[in-house]
Chain A
Amino acid sequence: MFINRLSTQKKLFIMFLIVALVPLLTLGIISYLQSSKVVNGKLANYNHFAGEKIKTQLDQILVDMYYGSSAIQQYLADSTAVNLRHQEPKTYSDFKEMNNLERLLQAHKKSNIRGIYVITSSGYFYGGYDFKFDLFKKQEIWKRSVWSGNPSIGIYQPTHYKDNNPKHVLGLIVPLKYSYGVLNNGYLLIETDVDDLFELMKVLEKDLHSRIEIKNELGQSLYHSTSKEAARKDDIIWKEQTNINNWNVEIRVPRDKFYQSSRVIFKIVLIGIGISFLLASMLSFIFSNQFTKKILNLKFAIDEVSKGIFDTKLSIHTKDEIGKLSFHFNRMVDKIKQLMEEIKQKELMKREAEMKAIHYQINPHLLFNTLNTIQWKARLDGNKEIGQMLLHLSKVLEGNLNFSIELISIKEELEAIEHFLVIQRLRYGDHFNFHLVMDEKLSNGLIPRMTLQPMLENIFFHAFEDGEGIIELEILESGEYFRLSLKDNGKGMSQDKLNTLFTRPEDNVRGGIGLYNVKQKFQIYFGKDFLIRADSVLTQGTFITISWPKRWRDTRG
């Protein structure tokens, strides 16, 4: 698997990142989806509400205007109420009539109605002083109504007031048709200030980037937002229709503008995730790096040790598992180093011994041939005793001169000392006693070659005077070890002598090398895993014990 090929650091890094990113992304996506849903929903509601509000306002204005116009027309049609003459008012009653009409018009002037005027065919008008009829005649709506003879309604910019001209008015002109009277062929004009409505639409256009269009029932545009961008098919559109006149109010928001808010949210979430991602990467890198660096250090240390560099030491900073591991590693390296040192020492000793052996090697053939010749000579001369002695000596020497150091069975070793003892018996006669205590089954146990003979030799040369004494050899098992004890009742030795018994003698001092050799042999085979000790009491005797690990001759081969 791919993941298995990655380094631990990368694995850890990836793991931490996943642990951080999964909840992060989930949270980010959820909060984005939720909040953009809320925002878009609200925006849509707001747009819908705005469209409805424009529609309602338009409806209200139109209702007011139509209602006002019909109420005024009803009043004007009542011949008993209106006695206007075919001229400007001149008399007291004219002025009173005018007054009444003006009051009627005033009464219909709701707060946002800019003006209500009754314009006679002569151009004289009722409804206030700040109206400039000359200028109004230039308005498109007036021309349209005069030309068609029908009521006209429209949104336009008034310029015909002496002051306080609103920016936009919704105007309604109704031609008056009466059978008689001054008002026949006159016009009723109602204009409503729609600046508030336009202000509302401006706010909408600005706030929502929406484009508003108001069309009359014939589909002619009464108002549309000025915009450089063309309407597009994917624009989001809300439509409202006024109850009066069936005017259409259309609010159109470009798709990208409508989703602008949710895009902003998206960006913020993205930035948030980005920042967190960076932080997460940094932290997981630092952490995994620190963690794996320790492991890597350990690995490098192991590599070095495996190359044989035992001076490697790990510095320990923490008490965690890696710290403990490093500690144990250091201890292990120390131990190995020590063991290696020992092995080296052993090898050195072995080589030295072999070298020394070679050094002492006299050509054995020469020696044996010479001994043989002497033996034959003795036999020919009829001296059986010398012949016997030489036979046993050659046997002893045979063992002694076999310099290949090896373990031999206890039985073989005992045979070797048997020859030695025969020689000694020929030499001293039966003045000494040798007792061997050993279980027969131990005869296959292993012991370094030529270890007993030097000890016996030592007894004969140093302990016994004139070969008199008792030698007791006991070999037995003791747990995992063989134990050999050699006891004599000779003259014993001083403590000083005892202390130097197993040490390497000065080169020029002859003799005394035997016991040192014995110890060396054991050391070569068993390292430190053996015990050799000697006790002695002057005039009483010496007691030597040796313990060494149990090994057996392979009797199968």
Chain B
Amino acid sequence: MKKKRIWFSLLVAVFVLVMSACSSNNSSGDGKKDGKTILRFATWDTGDTLKIQQDIAKEFEKENKDVKVQVEAYGDGFDQKIAASFGAKNPPDVMYMWDFTTYHQSLEPLDSYVEKDPDIKMDDFYEGLFNYSKVDKKLYGMPAGFSTMVVYYNKKLFDQYNIPYPQEGWTWDEFLESAKKLTDKSKKQYGFSVTSEPDTYDLQSLVWSNGGSFISDDGKQIDGVMNSPETIEAIQLYGDMVKDGIAVLTGGKNQQSASDIFKSGKLGMLISGIWPIQGYKDAKVDFGTVMMPSFGSKPVKGLISSSSISIAKDSKQKELAWKFVKFYSSEKAIKMRTADLPVRKSVVAETKVMEDALYKPFYTMLENATNTPAFLLNKNWNEVNRNLSAAINAVMLGQNGKPLFDKAVKDSEKYLSK
């Protein structure tokens, strides 16, 4: 009996050994991996800035051991991919967002989450940022980072031509004078750079500062607004600089980028957000930043480029998504975002970023960012914008603005009538 049992258990042991060698246990559950809940997060960032997003995601995972954040870097294809995923009802739980007018119907309103979660401390955010993530007074995204536009200038070139550095409160007249002095065509050196086919969004701060606008404040009218003398004058300012030869056209097809020229020391001034600042530091350019110039006595107006983060309406784990969004807007995460500017006053105070002369102008411009961009005012803005863009592109090449803007208005009126 004993003997038999030994042989039997031996055979069983061999059998189990063989069988276990043949099978492998690959189990994959829905939305789970290694027993962890998966949270999908989509971003348009690439390279170093993507790395920052991934680091923040890892921090979140550290605090939530049962969660795995799957960072989906859509890069250039962000709009196509996010639109496709909304259409397929399988969107990422959380995503970067800026175009709220287009996508707000696929996004989860956050007001109720904010209300029942006092930890979020809404007072700590710069008020102006929420304008960009609200549609019909509903909040669809929490601000994560932002930038405004300022003037970068090459101190070495200013010194070389004995021009005093620009100061806060300066005017376009002073700007033009400096640009003229900085230009030396024989050296292919220019005072300023104008984007040959600019994004109309970026030009709004210039237009507002001259008292103009692309669309009426109620978003219902463009005639007399888009083609108003103030708007045309502001845009013409850039085109004339190109025509006069004190500005170089950049960024178009087969053209160099403004950043590359600035890095090579052949560009006196350029207008940009916070994004290239680290690159210039790395390239050892001796540069300064200053707020945008004013049109005489008119107040300077700022424009915000913001990154917000939103929750998809079709997300199956909204509470967890909110937890992530909250973490993303927390002081800890905001401090990690070194590629753009902190959105929390407390972080700004703590890191003393405002006291840095290079960063201060961005906040000055933020304080002046009280206007609402055109795309938030009318849902057909994209169609209007195409005509506006054609007009502006032509102006940048030195053509007369008035008839172009009139034509753009005429071509676009149909999109405004309900």
Contact = CB atoms under 8 A, between A and B. Distances in A.
Contacts of B394: 90-92, 94-95
A44 B11 CA distance: 31
A66 B197 CA distance: 30
B1 interface: no
Contacts of B176: none
Given A27-B14, A99-B386, A163 B22 contact: no
Contact of B407 (A32, A89, A92, A279): A92
Given A265-B21, A272-B14, A164 B46 contact: yes
Interface footprint category on A = 35 or more
Contacts of B47: 163
A265 B14 CA distance: 12
A280 B10 CA distance: 9
Contact of B254 (A27, A28, A96, A133): A133
A73 to B, nearest CB: 21
Contacts, number: 101
Given A23-B11, A91-B394, A124-B254, A28 B18 contact: yes
A480 to B, nearest CB: 53
B84 interface: yes
B251 interface: yes
Contacts of B257: 162
Interface in A110-164: 110-111, 123-125, 129-131, 133-134, 162-164
Contact of A287 (B3, B251, B386): B3
A89 B14 contact: no
B346 to A, nearest CB: 34
B397 A90 contact: yes
Contacts of A111: 77, 80-81, 84
A20 interface: yes
B408 interface: yes
B390 A31 contact: no
B254 A123 contact: yes
Contacts of A123: 254
Contacts of A264: 21
A35 to B, nearest CB: 4
Contacts of A276: 10-11, 13-14
B7 interface: yes
Nearest to B77: A111
Interface in B73-129: 75-77, 80-81, 84
Contact of A129 (B15, B19, B253): B253
A129 B390 CA distance: 16
A89 B393 contact: yes
Interface string B1-26: 00100110011011101110110000
Interface string A15-32: 000011001100110011
Given A125-B253, A131-B253, A95 B18 contact: no
Given A39-B22, A129-B252, A269-B18, A92 B404 contact: yes
Interface in A250-265: 264-265
A92 B252 contact: no
B390 A99 contact: yes
Nearest to A100: B386
B54 interface: no
A96 B387 CA distance: 7
Interface in A274-301: 275-276, 279-280, 283, 287
Contacts of B81: 111
B91 to A, nearest CB: 14
Interface in B344-400: 386-387, 389-391, 393-394, 397, 399
A470 B62 CA distance: 135
B75 A164 contact: yes
A99 B390 CA distance: 8
Nearest to A128: B253
Contacts of A200: none
A92 to B, nearest CB: 5
Given A111-B77, A124-B253, A133-B254, A35 B18 contact: yes
Contacts of A88: 253
B75 A31 contact: no
A287 B4 CA distance: 13
A273 interface: yes
A31 B19 contact: yes
A272 B18 contact: yes
B399 A95 contact: no
A265 B18 contact: yes
A211 interface: no
A124 B196 CA distance: 14
A196 to B, nearest CB: 12
Contacts of A438: none
Contacts of B197: 95, 129
A134 B254 contact: yes
A273 B393 contact: no
Given A99-B390, A163-B47, A280-B10, A92 B408 contact: yes
Contacts of B80: 109-111
A273 B389 CA distance: 80
Contacts of B18: 28, 31-32, 35, 265, 268-269, 272
9 contacts: A28-B14, A89-B393, A92-B408, A94-B394, A95-B197, A96-B387, A133-B254, A272-B14, A276-B10
State the 3 A-B residue pairs at the shortest beta-carbon distance, nearest first: A95-B390, A35-B22, A272-B14
Given A95-B394, A272-B14, 5 more contacts: A35-B18, A111-B80, A265-B22, A272-B17, A275-B14
